[in-house]
Amino acid sequence: MPVSVEPTSVDPSQNGSAPANAGAGAPADVTEAEALRPHAEDAFAGELAALAAQDDRPRPARWKLSPWAVATYLLGGTLPDGTVITPKYVGPRRIVEVAVTTLATDRALLLLGVPGTAKTWVSEHLAAAVSGDSTLLVQGTAGTPEEAIRYGWNYAQLLAHGPSRDALVPSPVMRAMAEGMTARVEELTRIPADVQDTLITILSEKTLPIPELGQEVQAVRGFNLIATANDRDRGVNDLSSALRRRFNTVVLPLPESPEAEVDIVSRRVDQIGRSLDLPAAPDGLDEIRRVVTVFRELRDGVTTDGRTKLKSPSGTLSTAEAISVVTNGLALAAHFGDGVLRPGDVAAGILGAVVRDPAADRVIWQEYLETVVRERDGWKDFYRACREVSV
C-alpha cells in the first residue's frame, strides 16, 4: 500500500547519508551572506519573488512559477514593474523552453553535453524555479549506492525494532516523489549501470516499492527528475536503452560565438568574485577575451580567422575552465598585484588547463604559442607571460 514520507521523522546521519552541512559542529542555519555558494533559490530569492508576484499564467501542480516565468528566470528579461531578471543561461531560447516543457510532462529531463556547458547550473536553477528547492540532489560517482536513489535505513532503529516506518531513511528522490518536487541526479553516467537502472521503475511507474515493508511510495503530481550526463570523461557508464527511453534528452551546446562565451565568463566571474569579496578588476575584459580566444581556438583546432589549423590538446577547455582560470587570475591580481587583471595573472591558469598530458599537450601548447600567439598583434605581453610560465 502507498506510504507517505516525512523526512523530518528520521535522522539521516544514522546511515551515513547525512547532508554535507550536517557534520559535527556545523551551524544549524547558514545565512546567504555566510554561505560560500548559496543555493540558487537563496541567491536569487528576490528575482523569484518578483516573478511569482507578477506571474498570472497557468502553473502545473505544485510549481512555484509558470513555465513562461521559469524560462524568463533562466534567460533573463525585464518585468512590467521594471524588475530586471538576470540571465542564468546564455544560449538558444528554444533549448530552455524544451527543458521547461519536459518538466511539465511525465517524462524526466536529461541534460547532456560536454563538460563545462552549464548542465549542473541549469539543473539547479530549473529546480529552484519550479520547486523552490534545488537541494534534493544525488551526486553521481563510481561509488554511488542504490540507497542514494531509493532509500536507506537508520541502523540503530533497524537493529532494535526491525524494518519499520521509523527506520526508513528516504533518499532525495523519494522525498521529491512524496512531496511533488523536482529531484536532481548529477553525473548520471558515472553511476554504476545496475544502480542507474533503479530509476527505471521510478520514472516509468512513478512508484518506488519498499518490499521490506510491503509498501510503496507513489509520486504525487509535481514530481519530476532532472539528470545531467556527459560522455567525454573517463569512467563513463552508458545508459541502458530502457533508461534512456524514460528521459527527454536536451543537449546543451558550447557557446556559439566568442562574444557569447566572453559574456558568460564575465558574468560568472563577477558573481564568483563578489561571493569571495574580490574587487572588480578594471580593464579585465581584454584578458577574458584572450583566455576565451585561446580556449576556443585550441578546442576547435583552427584559429579564429580560419587560416591556421591547430592540434587540439587532450583537455576539454570548456567555458567552465575559462571561468576558473579568470577567477584565479582575479584573485592573484587582488592579493599579489595592483588589482588590475594582467596577462601574467592568467598565464599559469591557462597552462594548467591546456597541458593535461605533460608530453603531448606541452608540445601542442608550445607550437600554438610560437606560431599563433607570438605573431598576433597586441598579444606580445600575453606571449611573454605565457613563455615565462611555460619554461
Domain presence at residue 157? yes
Structural domain that includes position 71: 7-251
Choose one of 213, 229, 251: the last residue of a domain: 251
Q: Are residues 76 and 109 in the same domain?
A: yes
In tens, the pLDDT along 158-213 reads 999 899 989 999 999 999 999 999 999 999 999 999 999 999 999 999 999 999 99
Number of structural domains in the chain: 2
CATH of the domain at 169: 3.40.50.300
321-333 mean pLDDT: 94
In tens, the pLDDT along 337-362 reads 888 899 999 999 999 999 999 989 99
Domain presence at residue 337? yes
Question: pLDDT > 70: what percent of the chain?
Answer: 89
Q: Are residues 101 and 145 in the same domain?
A: yes
Q: Are residues 185 and 309 in the same domain?
A: no
Residue 14, pLDDT > 80, answer: no
Domain presence at residue 266? yes
Domain presence at residue 171? yes
CA separation, residue 197 to residues 136, 238, 329, 342, 351 (Å) = 19, 11, 43, 49, 40
Please report the pLDDT score of residue 312 as a whole number.
Answer: 94
Q: What does DSSP assign to residue 309?
A: B
Q: Are residues 314 and 218 in the same domain?
A: no
Residue 2, pLDDT > 90, answer: no
Q: pTM of the entire structure?
A: 0.85
In tens, the pLDDT along 202-261 reads 999 999 999 999 999 999 999 999 999 987 765 578 899 999 999 999 999 989 899 999
Q: Are residues 213 and 320 in the same domain?
A: no
Q: Which helix (H) or strand (E) holds 210?
A: strand 207-210
Q: What does DSSP assign to residue 29?
A: -
Domain presence at residue 213? yes
Choose one of 201, 222, 251: the last residue of a domain: 251
In tens, the pLDDT along 77-108 reads 999 999 999 999 999 999 999 999 999 999 99
Q: Are residues 352 and 217 in the same domain?
A: no
37-46 mean pLDDT: 94
Amino acid at 270: D
CA separation, residue 318 to residues 67, 263, 309 (Å) = 29, 14, 19
Q: Are residues 200 and 285 in the same domain?
A: no
Q: Are residues 262 and 236 in the same domain?
A: no
Q: Are residues 208 and 328 in the same domain?
A: no
Choose one of 204, 226, 251: the last residue of a domain: 251
Please report the pLDDT score of residue 49 as a whole number.
Answer: 97
Please report the pLDDT score of residue 7 as a whole number.
Answer: 41
Domain presence at residue 2? no
The label of the residue with cell 558574468 reads: 267
Domain presence at residue 56? yes
Q: Are residues 129 and 162 in the same domain?
A: yes
Q: What is the mean pLDDT of the chain?
A: 89
Q: Are residues 166 and 32 in the same domain?
A: yes
Residue 28, pLDDT > 90, answer: no
Given its phi and psi angles, is residue 210 left (phi above 0), alpha (psi -120 to 50 degrees) or beta?
A: beta
Q: Are residues 275 and 204 in the same domain?
A: no
Domain presence at residue 211? yes
